[in-house]
Structure 1
Amino acid sequence: MLREIPSILSPDLLHALRAMGHGDELAIVDANFPAQSLAQRCLRLDGVSATEALSAILTLLPLDSFDPMPALTMEVVGDAAQIPPVVVEFQAIIDRVADHPARLGALERFAFYQRARSAYAIIQTGEFRLYGNIILKKGIIQP
């Protein structure tokens, strides 16, 4: 165990977070997401919600301050204006935990899949709420 590192973050996930560079992206996805078939690297956090994963990851991962939308969610199919409760929670977590709070952007379902496919890693959670998916762009730590 290490101090001040959330215990839900596995050694493999910690390695991925550390290995990522500025501008690399990380997808945190729900249990229904086709992570295994899309991911370059698929890491699992079974039994952990997407909101718990986001909160833990943002304690370590800086968000990109050069990108006006360093966090993207998936739009509701057929109703892009609808904001699911899990996405409302994502925004509250970013506001509370991120080093660089930012407004969430959104991508159409298949555009989200394409973006996740090119992510450094996809973190498959045990999240069962629909649309519990978010992509984060890694920033830098200012000197």
Structure 2
Amino acid sequence: MFSEKFNVRFYETDGLAHVSNTVVAGWFECGREPIFKMFTPDLDLKNWPLILASYKIDFHLQIFYGKPVEVRTYVSRVGNSSFDTYQEIWQQDQKVASGSTTLVRFDFKTNKSVPIDDSIKSQLKQHIYSELEAEK
């Protein structure tokens, strides 16, 4: 699991006095940065090897300004050229949002997916989400 903790910023709140639902997708993307580094250690956008194929977010509770949050990032599936992440946002010891994302290793020159290197697959598998994590 990867974990990122930070304070909710005022501008991320909306007219209903809670964090806007559009912010969570960005937080999840930030939480995937350690995974991005497995593919591109220097995060060079000119040599970016991944595309986002899909994502889904579930909101469990409201998220509020003034209380820190934690983004937890796991890998839930590793395929030949794609993999899935499972992510959670926690605030005050409560899971407030969760989501899943499918990312594909992609060659922009050929405009096609390509297999994930075995060494990267091995790294991804070190962060597999398990039922034990769900009990925490």
TM-score (normalizing by structure 1): 0.28
Which structure carries more strand by proportion? 2
Higher relative contact order (CA 8 A, sep 6+): 1
Which structure carries more helix by proportion? 1
- Greater CA radius of gyration, 1 or 2? 2
TM-score (normalizing by structure 2): 0.29
